[in-house]
Amino acid sequence: MSLRYALNIKGLAFKTEWIEYPDIQTFYKQHNIPHVDTKPDGSPHYTLPVIHDASTGKFIVDSFSITAYLDEQYPHTPTLLPKGTHALQSAFQFAVGSVLVTLSGIIKPATHTILNEASQGYFRRTKGIDQLRISEDELDEHWKRFEAEMGMIDDWLKRNGEGQKFITGDSIAYIDIHLAARLLRMKKVLEGQKEQGGKVDNGWDLIEKWHGGRWARMVAAFEQYE
């Protein structure tokens, strides 16, 4: 989703090609795309998104690298990774992922349920879905931990004070779209799932009320770029 945001903010025309999870590796090999990530055992990890720029013939992998490429290749468009901010923005992206340790147990099982059949088996097998599932007795506490993790990010953003529109100032940066994309994934995957059996189940209706409604406002602010 962060790539879609970036392309729409930049006003660049594009066509989306959807690829099922089991077909990602084949897509890489068909187009001789080198992998950029590895699994814990050292084997190649084939990830999305990937873009193909027809004007240069290049395939670019990884949202951060793609954004840097688009900034360089299309300098007339809004810059998302200004010169001198690459390290800071990369560190923020890593920090967000490091803080949200509880999210996997919420988002991955819910994602599994809405995938197409072709991807469900692969996702279950490779993401350890059964090990991630939370028992009903643990669910309330799990959500409380997740709220606290989101609270850490909220605390970071509060340091900007009132009136600053985006994380780095008045212009959208890559880290804004990275965070907004994570939130939109939560919304799309969890929306509509309610409390069950007196226990808190996955639900965007909970997240959007946290921290003064910050997360709902952020998703709404980026709606025009979806």
What is the residue whose two structure tokens read 């970071």?
156
User: Based on the domain organization, do 155 and 121 belong to the same domain?
Assistant: yes
The pLDDT, as a whole number, for residue 192 is 57
In a domain, 185, yes or no: yes
Confidence of residue 125 (pLDDT cuts 50, 70, 90): confident
User: Based on the domain organization, do 125 and 215 belong to the same domain?
Assistant: yes
In a domain, 22, yes or no: yes
In a domain, 150, yes or no: yes
In a domain, 80, yes or no: no
Q: Which of 1-5, 10-14, 178-182, 195-199 has the lowest mean pLDDT?
A: 195-199
Confidence of residue 109 (pLDDT cuts 50, 70, 90): confident
DSSP labels for 60-85? EESHHHHHHHHHHH-TTSPPSS-TT-
In a domain, 81, yes or no: no
User: Based on the domain organization, do 66 and 101 belong to the same domain?
Assistant: no
d(CA 166, CA 82): 14
User: Based on the domain organization, do 95 and 191 belong to the same domain?
Assistant: yes
Q: Which of 13-27, 33-47, 78-92, 182-196 has the lowest mean pLDDT?
A: 182-196
User: Based on the domain organization, do 93 and 61 belong to the same domain?
Assistant: no
User: Based on the domain organization, do 147 and 219 belong to the same domain?
Assistant: yes
Domain final position from 73, 99, 126? 73
**Domain of 153?**
88-225
CATH of the domain at 164: 1.20.1050.10
CATH of the domain at 46: 3.40.30.10
In a domain, 192, yes or no: yes
Q: Could you read off the pLDDT of 5-64 as tens digits, one per residue?
A: 999 999 999 999 999 999 999 999 999 999 988 988 889 999 999 999 999 999 999 999
**What residue type is 41 in one-letter code?**
D
Q: What percent of the chain has pLDDT over 70?
A: 95
DSSP labels for 166-190? BTTBSS--HHHHHHHHHHHHHHHHH
In a domain, 79, yes or no: no
User: Based on the domain organization, do 162 and 62 belong to the same domain?
Assistant: no
User: Based on the domain organization, do 172 and 100 belong to the same domain?
Assistant: yes
pTM over 0.85: yes
Mean pLDDT of 195-215: 75
User: Based on the domain organization, do 64 and 151 belong to the same domain?
Assistant: no
User: Based on the domain organization, do 56 and 118 belong to the same domain?
Assistant: no
Q: Name which of 206, 99, 212, 95 is nearest 158 in CA terms.
A: 212
d(CA 151, CA 177): 19
Confidence of residue 193 (pLDDT cuts 50, 70, 90): low
d(CA 174, CA 193): 30
Query: Is residue 199 predicted with pLDDT exceeding 90?
Result: no
Instruction: Provide the sign of the torsion angle of the four alpha carbons 19, 45, 130, 182, taken in this order.
Output: negative
What token pair was written down for 26? 């084949």
Question: Between 136-158 and 86-99, two packed helices, what is the crossing angle to 10 degrees?
Answer: 150
User: Based on the domain organization, do 9 and 114 belong to the same domain?
Assistant: no
Confidence of residue 134 (pLDDT cuts 50, 70, 90): confident
Structural domain count, the chain: 2
Mean pLDDT of 211-215: 95
In a domain, 114, yes or no: yes
The pLDDT, as a whole number, for residue 79 is 97
Query: Is residue 129 predicted with pLDDT exceeding 70?
Result: yes
User: Based on the domain organization, do 95 and 203 belong to the same domain?
Assistant: yes
**Averaged pLDDT of the chain:** 90
